[in-house]
Amino acid sequence: MGKCHSFYVIKGAEYRMNAKIPVGVLGATGAVGQKFIKLLENHPWFEVTEVAASERTSGKIYSEAVSWKQVTPIPEGVRNLEVRPCTPGLNCRIVFSGLDAAVAGPIEDEFARAGYVVLSNSKNHRLDEDVPLVIPEVNPDHLGVISIQRRNRDSAGYIVTNSNCTTMFLAMALGPIHKAFVVEKVFMVSMQAVSGAGYPGVPSLDILGNVIPYIGGEEEKVEVETRKILGTFNGKTIDLADFPVSAHCNRVPVEDGHTESVSVKLARKTSTAEIAEVLRTYSGVPQRLKLPSAPQTPFVVMEALDRPQPRFDVNRANGMATLVGRIRPCSIFDYKFTLMGHNTIRGAAGASILNAELLKAQGYLE
């Protein structure tokens, strides 16, 4: 950091500079909340000091309140935390929100107004004019809108959102491509893992040996969020990128990993080799800042004809990579390719954490 403050003052408590930043998790017993807790275990900068959830569980010890569904055990530091209600009063600086969209909106507002930095994985505020929807590798400059948000809401707190899980891998890949070749049109058909639907989520009777060609609200999210992420911060708000996106979203019987078949029309002439090169060599702000959760290279470009595949590739770079394969000409647009990534890590909890790391590294937590 190199800053000279010797301690934080958060909610009246003092923290030494070399201590980790205390963070809370909202919706801590849910699927995304659990993933936050798992990914924050041993985080070099953040430490989970508060877990909050619905009234039904608040007051209980976390290990008793949760139906833990991760393959590693509940982190020791969290296991015995008391579950708190989702209201300000949590002893932390940052809250990660894995709240259900049915309730996330006003709760996140309340925390931001109370001075907390809210990293939200929920859809509710993603399209708010003064809320950044950020992928650190693609549009870190959109954080500029925070100062406007703080002014609008008259608070030191604020909300930063990350995209929907399906949008994530599309917007990630389009980032460098748009910069290099100018995207004009985008088709995307997703084949999404069941973990994207939370828990209990998709009943097994609905998905075993099946494809469900519908995920409520998903296509609309992909079509607009992609354009906001690739849009331009004009000093006041974000202008949406000026190209249409058409999305078809499907659920498939895969545990983790969203696969996307994409076709793009580009303004500048290029080649499959050049696109592959642009992605393979891309390095963004998180890579330059060496953020703890950042993958060393944001993209893994695979040469094998039949990759990427969720079962074999989803955990590349600890689930933070965007995998790209089958870059080839398209008989209607210019190029087509396959994207894949871990929907609950890079596409959800890991994205919020990377955003928080970016905020810290760029001085937004001071």
Residues labelled as active-site residues: 165, 258
Q: Which residue among 80, 87, 147, 210 contacts a copy of itself (CB under 8 A)?
A: 210
Q: Which is nearer to a copy of itself, 150 or 185 (CB)?
A: 185
Positions in 67-126 near a copy of itself (CB under 8 A): 69, 71
Q: Which residue among 2, 44, 106, 209 contacts a copy of itself (CB under 8 A)?
A: 209
Q: Which is nearer to a copy of itself, 216 or 235 (CB)?
A: 216
Positions in 224-263 near a copy of itself (CB under 8 A): 244-246, 248, 250, 252-255, 257, 259, 261, 263
Positions in 340-359 near a copy of itself (CB under 8 A): 340
DSSP 106-162: HHHHHHHHTT-EEEE-SSTTTT-TTS-B--TTT-GGGGGHHHHHHHHHTSS-EEEE-
Q: Which residue among 66, 145, 170, 194 contacts a copy of itself (CB under 8 A)?
A: 194
CB of 193 to a copy of itself, least distance (A): 9
User: What is the Cα–Cα distance from 25 to 44, expressed in whole angstroms?
Assistant: 17
Specify the 3-state DSSP secondary structure of 257: coil
Q: Which is nearer to a copy of itself, 14 or 64 (CB)?
A: 64
**C-alpha angle with apex 76: 75 to 77, nearest 5 degrees?**
95
**C-alpha angle with apex 127: 243 to 267, nearest 5 degrees?**
15
CB of 226 to a copy of itself, least distance (A): 11
252, 192 Cβ separation under 8 angstroms: yes
Query: Can residue 189 be called a binding residue for a copy of itself (CB under 8 A)?
Result: yes
How many of the other CB atoms lie within 10 Å of CB of 241? 19
CB of 184 to a copy of itself, least distance (A): 10
Q: Which is nearer to a copy of itself, 273 or 305 (CB)?
A: 305
- Among the residue ranges 37-45, 79-87, 186-194, 267-275, the one whose residues contact a copy of itself (CB under 8 A): 186-194
CB of 316 to a copy of itself, least distance (A): 9
Of 353, 311, 330, the closest CA to residue 95 belongs to 353
User: What is the Cα–Cα distance from 116 to 96, expressed in whole angstroms?
Assistant: 10
152, 125 Cβ separation under 8 angstroms: no
CB of 67 to a copy of itself, least distance (A): 10
How many of the other CB atoms lie within 10 Å of CB of 234? 10
Specify the 3-state DSSP secondary structure of 82: strand
CB of 9 to a copy of itself, least distance (A): 42
CB of 194 to a copy of itself, least distance (A): 4
CB of 313 to a copy of itself, least distance (A): 8
Q: Which residue among 195, 293, 322, 352 contacts a copy of itself (CB under 8 A)?
A: 195
* E strand or H helix at 361: helix 350-361
Q: Which residue among 64, 141, 206, 242 contacts a copy of itself (CB under 8 A)?
A: 206
Cβ neighbours for 149, distance < 8 A, ≥ 6 positions apart: 112, 130, 131, 132, 158, 159
- Among the residue ranges 83-91, 138-146, 200-208, 281-289, the one whose residues contact a copy of itself (CB under 8 A): 200-208
Positions in 273-332 near a copy of itself (CB under 8 A): 305-313, 315, 325-326, 330-332
* Residues that contact a copy of itself, how many (by CB under 8 A): 59
User: What is the Cα–Cα distance from 304 to 292, expressed in whole angstroms?
Assistant: 29
Token reading at 331: 């008989």
Q: Which is nearer to a copy of itself, 38 or 93 (CB)?
A: 38
How many of the other CB atoms lie within 10 Å of CB of 101? 11
Specify the 3-state DSSP secondary structure of 204: helix
Specify the 3-state DSSP secondary structure of 284: coil
Q: Which residues bind a copy of itself (CB under 8 A)?
A: 69, 71, 185-187, 189, 191, 194-195, 199-214, 216, 223, 244-246, 248, 250, 252-255, 257, 259, 261, 263, 305-313, 315, 325-326, 330-333, 336, 338, 340
